[in-house]
């Protein structure tokens, strides 16, 4: 585990999370992740802290409203989301693309698992997922 900081584009939202980036991160084909190209590294609630921007975010809820999609109301970037009903309970998904201090080669080395969220099959890869 290492502590990383992640920020939105304009800098209003800053978070900190303890992550193991040698473990799988996630791309999902559901209708909201597809539009946002969200790339999540998983953090447990006690490993995640909002450092700045609590009042600068807007929350988007849809469908069964069990996942919280937060985005900066100034620049629109999603630094993190919250899953309230996952196989491991409540967890935070930190947007890997928002993590500070990583080089292109570091991003390239991070393992990615694609999941079929579009069909509620979170344990399975999508049948057609190469575009993720």
Taking CB under 5 A as the criterion, the residue among 5, 34, 49, 74 binding Zn ion is 74
Sheet with 2-7, side-by-side order of all strands: 2-7, 14-19, 48-52
Whose Cβ is closer to Zn ion: residue 5's or residue 74's?
74
Q: Is 8 in the site for Zn ion (CB under 5 A)?
A: yes
Q: Is 75 in the site for Zn ion (CB under 5 A)?
A: yes
Select from 86, 7, 99, 13 the least CA-distant residue to 56. 13
Shortest Å, Cβ 117 to Zn ion = 25
Write down the residue that tokens 């995640």 correspond to: 48
Q: Is 72 in the site for Zn ion (CB under 5 A)?
A: yes
């Amino acid at each position: 585990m290492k502590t990383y900081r992640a920020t939105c584009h304009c800098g209003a939202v800053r978070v900190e999370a303890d992550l193991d980036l040698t473990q799988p991160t996630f791309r999902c084909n559901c209708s909201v992740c597809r539009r946002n190209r969200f790339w999540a590294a998983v953090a447990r609630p006690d490993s995640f802290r909002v450092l700045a921007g609590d009042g600068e975010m807007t929350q988007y809820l849809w469908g069964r409203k069990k996942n919280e999609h937060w985005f900066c109301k100034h620049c629109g970037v999603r630094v993190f989301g919250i899953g309230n009903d996952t196989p491991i309970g409540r967890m935070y998904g930190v947007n890997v693309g928002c993590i500070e201090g990583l080089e292109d080669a570091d991003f390239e080395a991070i393992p990615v698992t694609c999941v079929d969220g579009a069909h509620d099959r979170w344990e399975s890869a999508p049948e057609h997922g190469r575009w993720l």
